[in-house]
Amino acid sequence: MEKVDKLIESLRDEVISLRREIHMFPETAFEEYRTSDLVFGYLKNLALSSVRKVNKTGVVADLLVDNPKGTVLLRADMDALPIQEEVEAPYRSKIDGKMHACGHDAHTAMLLVAAKVLSEIKDELDYNVKFVFQPSEEHAPGGAIGMIEEGVLENPKVDFAFATHVDGFSKAGIISTKSGVMTAEADSFKITILGYGGHGAYPHKTVDPILIASHIVIALQSIVSREVDPLEPAVVSIGKITSGDVFNVIPERGELFGTVRTLKREVAEFISSRITDISMHIANSLRGKVVVDYNFGYLPLCNNELTTDYIKKIGELMSGKSMFRNPPSPWEVRICPIFYKKSQGHFTGLEC
């Protein structure tokens, strides 16, 4: 650890520089060409066994050792968000409407430097290391599926997979993880409301999509509060409403966009069906129509107990017990390893 600490400390300025370079040129899902080239070029200069591009803009590098006990995969995401950066800083985004607001620039920079550190102590490693830089984490179905389909988990076969995410709500140095369910499934939905437009002075001659949308927004909040078991965490949130062009004309259509967060797929499926039913019945009662487009996200992250305990020990070794945090669980969860199954053309993690 002392040798690793010294190597990391010597690269402090380098990781900061890499992160700021990536931050200045954010690229959204499957548009990470500049970032991909930066990652590929950096890795090609290291003592790695192979470096290749996968699934459009993804990058994978292998560090193979003699007589390995197995293979460890380390993963970072690379894409930015379609958000305008307002913060004034020398390294602020130079691309209008795009920003690294979720820390993927930091993830990529940290994994690049981790690759450099591990390549320099290659002879002391017992495991192969596969470095995976994933595109399109923010946009469903995400870039991981394509990378898996192109064989990123094989040759050599991956035994353990680790990923980190920066956390703006914790103090620097805090390491937080737990075995079992760690983070929620994140689904998205769009409700298109079809009405009949007209002048605002003659509402009786119209079918008002804004009125229908308003009733739907309020009604959807009853799903979690009145239809989901109180011991099953769930969230339904509307994040965007669009309709109309001017103040005195009732438009023909409106759109609602929202997200559902759950810790069990069966809860997500129930909420999805209720969103559709409620929206359709409200629209029908007010003489309108709706089209509901619901997209299921990845299943909840479920951490393997063995690997979680290992991370805890490493975290305590590096930062001390006081710097390790084990988030409380909403209920007792069963521990499960990470597997994948092919379902309806997509790879999804198995539930615990």
Decide if 27 is inside a domain: yes
Write the CATH number for 280: 3.30.70.360
Q: What is the pLDDT of residue 343?
A: 38
Mean pLDDT taken over the chain: 90
Residues 58-86: tens digit of each pLDDT: 999 999 999 999 999 999 999 999 999 99
**Res. 328 pLDDT band, cuts 50 70 90:** low
Q: Phi and psi at residue 283, in whole multiples of 5°?
A: -60, -45
CB 286 within 8 A of CB 207: yes
CB 166 within 8 A of CB 111: no
242 & 207 share domain: yes
Residues 31-43, mean pLDDT to the nearest whole number: 98
Q: What is the pLDDT of residue 318?
A: 76
**Res. 320 pLDDT band, cuts 50 70 90:** confident
160 & 191 share domain: no
Residues 137-152, mean pLDDT to the nearest whole number: 91
3-state secondary structure 100-139: CCCCHHHHHHHHHHHHHHHHHCHHHCCCEEEEEEECCCCC
Decide if 236 is inside a domain: yes
| Distance between CA atoms of residues 15 and 116, nearest Å | 11
| Distance between CA atoms of residues 103 and 77, nearest Å | 9
Residues 231-279: tens digit of each pLDDT: 999 999 999 999 999 999 999 999 999 999 999 999 999 999 999 999 9
Q: What is the pLDDT of residue 333?
A: 32
Please choose, from the candidates 8, 325, 333, 58, the residue with its C-alpha nearest in 3D space to the C-alpha of residue 167: 325
Rounded to two decimals, the pTM is 0.82
Give DSSP secondary structure letters for 237-289. EEEEEEE-SSTTEE-SEEEEEEEEEESSHHHHHHHHHHHHHHHHHHHHHTT-E
Residues 312-334, mean pLDDT to the nearest whole number: 67
Among 295, 318, 341, the domain boundary falls at: 295
Residues 88-139: tens digit of each pLDDT: 999 999 999 999 999 999 999 999 999 999 999 999 999 999 999 999 998 8
Decide if 19 is inside a domain: yes
Q: What is the pLDDT of residue 38?
A: 98
Decide if 173 is inside a domain: no
Q: What is the pLDDT of residue 178?
A: 87
Token digits of residue 74: 């380390």
Residues 179-217: tens digit of each pLDDT: 888 889 999 999 999 999 999 999 999 999 999 999 999
Write the CATH number for 108: 3.40.630.10
Residues 321-330, mean pLDDT to the nearest whole number: 68
Given a cut of 70, whether residue 337 has pLDDT beyond it is: no
9 & 146 share domain: yes
158 & 192 share domain: no
| Distance between CA atoms of residues 316 and 323, nearest Å | 7
259 & 131 share domain: no
142 & 207 share domain: no
- Structural domain containing residue 219: 185-295
Chain-centre distance of CA 279, in angstroms? 28
33 & 122 share domain: yes
Q: What is the pLDDT of residue 329?
A: 54
189 & 151 share domain: no
Q: CA-CA distances (angstroms) from residue 114 to 117, 232, 287, 295, 337?
A: 5, 38, 59, 35, 25
Q: What is the pLDDT of residue 344?
A: 39
Active site residues per annotation: 79, 137
| Distance between CA atoms of residues 22 and 20, nearest Å | 5
140 & 236 share domain: no
Decide if 332 is inside a domain: no
Given a cut of 80, whether residue 1 has pLDDT beyond it is: no
19 & 95 share domain: yes
Among 244, 272, 295, the domain boundary falls at: 295
How many separate domains does the chain show? 2
| Distance between CA atoms of residues 137 and 164, nearest Å | 13
| Distance between CA atoms of residues 329 and 181, nearest Å | 8
The distance in angstroms from the start CA to the end CA of the chain is 34
Give DSSP secondary structure letters for 180-212. EEEE-EEEEEEEEEE-B-EETT-GGGSB-HHHH
Higher-confidence residue of 69 and 344: namely: 69
Decide if 327 is inside a domain: no
Given a cut of 60, whether residue 349 has pLDDT beyond it is: no
Q: What is the pLDDT of residue 170?
A: 78
